[in-house]
Amino acid sequence: MIVLKLGGSVITDKDSDETVDEERLAALAGALGGYDGELVVVHGGGSFGHPAAAAHGVSRTDGTRSAEGVREVHAAMKRLNDRVVSALAGEGVPAVPVHPFSLAHRSREGELSLPVEGVEASLGEGFVPVLHGDVVVHRDEGATVVSGDELVVSLAEGLGADRVGLCSTVPGVLDDGGEVVPRIGGYDEVAGYLGESESTDVTGGMAAKVRALLDLEAPASVFGPEALEGFLAGEEPGTRIG
């Protein structure tokens, strides 16, 4: 079973509010249409969730008690999720939406709790659950952002995923010469290469991805869109983490 994340920067134009990269999304959906194994898809916020969250000062650590703010961020992510689910369905993928706001929460310490029983049941019935970055209730903080990367880790651990993939705008984690780092065994190996995202990103960018994936038991790969078919076929493109 695969847990796959489609990065928000991959499926949207992060420099233009609420703009889907239709051509890219269609190509990714086409690749997924040919996969016949168990699959959970997670997508990032891109130009939908990140601007809405930033407008309300919400991040993974900074919360809001504005119900209007929560509704606006969640609604933006639902709009993107609708587009992703529709694109997948158009390629024959039995995709169904799963909204983390209704499932997950954070403890006072910020630890994420994501029950996976419903996702597991969906897989058992032949569906492809499609989750997304979202806001979640955070004890003593109101609501904070949960990133797609966090969801990937929780799902992979809770479901016992065999493989994890993060489809990014770059062909892998890049070193300071712009070359793909083939394998990362510890964060210190690449700490100097991982900078901030150039677009609005309230979830931590590549550094957060690497930190999260290093905690997984399942093999994880970060790769570009053109490598998705190879990954689904069992290859390990891009950067292997862990």
Q: Which segments are annotated as binding site for ATP? A: 5-9, 46, 205, 209
Torsion of CA 39, 14, 151, 182, to 10 degrees: 70
C-beta separation of 116 from 155 below 8 A: yes
CB 171 within 8 A of CB 11: no
- Residue positions in the annotated binding site? 5-9, 45-46, 50, 148, 205, 209
CA distances from 23 to 9, 29, 65, 79 (A): 13, 10, 37, 18
DSSP three-state, residue 204? coil
Binding residues for substrate: 45, 50, 148
How far apart CA 224 and CA 110 sit, in angstroms, is: 31
Q: Are 14 and 50 in contact (CB under 8 A)?
A: yes
In what helix (H) or strand (E) does residue 206 lie, and over which residues does it extend? helix 205-214
DSSP for 13-57, written as a single string = -TTSTT-B-HHHHHHHHHHHHT--S-EEEEE--HHHHHHHHHHTT
The candidate with the shortest Cα–Cα distance to 25, out of 105, 89, 88, is: 88
- Residues 6+ away with beta carbon under 8 Å from 86: none
